[in-house]
Every structure is written in C-alpha cells, then in structure tokens.
Structure 1
Amino acid sequence: MKKFYYILLLSFMLLGFSADAQRQRPNPGEIEAQKTAFITNNLDLTPEQAQKFWPIYNASEKRMESIRRQQREALMKVRLNGGAVSDSEAWDLIENLMSWEQSMLDERKNLVAQLKGVVSPQQILKLKRAEEEFKRRLLQAMQRRRKN
C-alpha cells in the first residue's frame, strides 16, 4: 500500500510540476492530491485509518485556512496603506494577530484530540513534519518552475 501511494505521489509530481511548466501556478486540486498522497505515505496510513483521518484533517485545514485568510486580509490592508496606521489601529491589528495565533493553536489542539482514536501517537507526531516537508518541496518545485 505504501508503494502505491509513493508511486501515486511521484506521478503527480512529475505530471503537475514538470509537464505543465507553462502555467504560473499548479492547479489547487493537483496540490491537494499531492498533499494527500504525501501525508498518507509519510504517516503510513492504512486504508481504514485514511478513511477516518482525512475528513477530520480536511475540516481542520478548512478552519485553519479561514484564520489564515483573515490574517492575510488584515495585513494586506496595512500594506495597501503603505504601512501607515495609527497607534490605535496598530494595537487593534496586534490584538487580532495574537487572537488568530491563539485560534490556530486551539485548532491544532482540537485536531490532535480528534485524531487520538484514529491514528497512533507516532503518526500524529509525524503529521507536522510531513506537512512542513510537503510545503518545503512544493515551494522548491514552484521556484524551479519560475526559473524555467
């Protein structure tokens, strides 16, 4: 099973990152499929575990993306103003940033709590590392595409 996911991941990477070098950005669906294969492989999820893991993980990712979007929008408003904000606006932004960071931490704790009965503690530990490794590889692939 692990070999299947590894082969699937490699084929997605080859198709998504090298065959279509004309596009500036890979299709979000392709990235999600690659991420799914990468995490499944790195966590060595059984089919039964994967069936329970992915709905929990995807719901958590959706909530985290909502928080990240709020952060980006707030920071973009500041950038559009040339960085000029009043002291009270700056304090409001600082308060919001800290609140969003706390929300991200709370969501991560919630994810771990929900995964407790689904995957092993070792697999939960591997999850963060797999996410970071996937992001690193994705950024490297995108940088290579820009150079070409």
Structure 2
Amino acid sequence: MLRFKHLFVTIGAIILCIASASAQPRDSKRFAAIESEKIAYITKELSLTPAEAQRFFPIYNQYSKEIWAIRSKKKESTTTPSPRGVNAFNKSDRSEKRDILSYDAKELDVKKEYRKKFAEVVGSARASQFFEVEQNFRELLYKELQRRNR
C-alpha cells in the first residue's frame, strides 16, 4: 500500500510538471521532463512518504532556484570577455566578479542552509543524503546523454 502511495506521488509530480510546461518552448519542455524525472528519483532514493514529499519539494524548489541563480552568475562571469585598456580599479573589480571560489563558497552556504531546512522535514541523515542523491542523478543524466550521443 505504501508503495502505491509513492508511485501515486511520483506520477502526480510528473504530470504536474508536464502540464505546467505545455505552454512553454521546446527546451523548457525538456527541462521540465528532466526535472520531473529528478523529483521521482529523489522521492524514490530518499524513500519520501507522500506527507514528507508534500513538505519537502516546496523547500527543494526554493533551494533549486537559489543554486541555479548562483551557477548562472558563475557561468556568466566566466564567459564574459575582458575589455582591453582598463584601469587598475576595473581590473580588481573584474577579478572579484570572476572569483570562482566566491561562487563555490556561496553555493556551499546555500547547501548548508537548506540541509537544515531539509532535516526539519526528513531528518538529518536523509537531508545529508539528498546532496549525494542529487549528484547521482546528475551523473545518470550525463551518462544517458553520452549514450544517446554515440
């Protein structure tokens, strides 16, 4: 019976994500499908009950937005070409914008903050496990992409 509840929550999350992506461009549909798979994977790997999933995923969505924003800024700062003939003040300003470690530190701070929030819902062991599960999903996604490109 509990297994059916997990299946029901997972399928509901997938349908919700797909329905919300129906009016969006093609790339957004792909992203929504991947995000749905990620939600199902996290639900399964962390053994979330329906009640836990209902409380966990709004927090996860906030976490995801914050991490996405940091990573976007990090990528933006590393891909911005540096202008020539800039004075010393601008050089130090540029180096601060391109300081990759500061972005990594911000990301780590966000992860620490959200680990506490996740722990309130699923306990500290599963909250810490979440980051490993998330990394495993990324690796699975990368392997699938490589497989499709062959």
Task: Indicate whether the TM-score tops 0.5.
Answer: yes
Task: Determine which of 54, 58, 63 is the counterpart of 1:60.
Answer: 63
- Give yes or no for the alignment of 1:106 onto 2:109: yes
Structure 2 unmatched runs, 5+ = 15-25
Quote the residue 2:139 is aligned against: 136
Quote the residue 1:115 is aligned against: 118
CA contact (8 A) 2:56 2:121 kept: yes
Superposition misfits of 4+ residues, deviation over 6 angstroms: 23-26
Task: Determine which of 90, 95, 98 is the counterpart of 1:91.
Answer: 95
Residue identity in the other structure for 1:112: R
User: Aligned partners of 1:48, 1:24: CA distance in 2, in Å?
Assistant: 31
User: Aligned partners of 1:137, 1:25: CA distance in 2, in Å?
Assistant: 20
User: Aligned partners of 1:111, 1:36: CA distance in 2, in Å?
Assistant: 17
Q: 1:137 Cα shift?
A: 0.5
Q: 1:134 Cα shift?
A: 0.4
CA contact (8 A) 1:43 1:126 kept: yes
Deviations 1:63-114 (A, max 9, x none): 1100100011111114xx6xxx98646632444x232222111111110121
In 2 relative to 1, CA 44–141 (structure 1 residues): closer, same or farther, beyond 3 Å? same
Q: 1:26 Cα shift?
A: 7.5
Higher relative contact order (CA 8 A, sep 6+): 1
Quote the residue 1:77 is aligned against: 80
TM-score normalised by length of structure 2: 0.72
What is the count of residue pairs matched by the alignment? Answer: 128
User: Aligned partners of 2:62, 2:45: CA distance in 1, in Å?
Assistant: 20
Q: 1:125 Cα shift?
A: 2.4
Q: 1:24 Cα shift?
A: 9.7
In 2 relative to 1, CA 131–39 (structure 1 residues): closer, same or farther, beyond 3 Å? same
User: Aligned partners of 2:59, 2:136: CA distance in 1, in Å?
Assistant: 21
User: Aligned partners of 2:28, 2:65: CA distance in 1, in Å?
Assistant: 21
C-alpha RMSD of matched pairs (Å): 2.9
User: Aligned partners of 1:26, 1:146: CA distance in 2, in Å?
Assistant: 20
Q: 1:28 Cα shift?
A: 0.6
User: Aligned partners of 1:133, 1:104: CA distance in 2, in Å?
Assistant: 18
Quote the residue 1:29 is aligned against: 32
User: Aligned partners of 1:69, 1:106: CA distance in 2, in Å?
Assistant: 16
User: Aligned partners of 2:142, 2:55: CA distance in 1, in Å?
Assistant: 29
Q: Percent identity?
A: 28
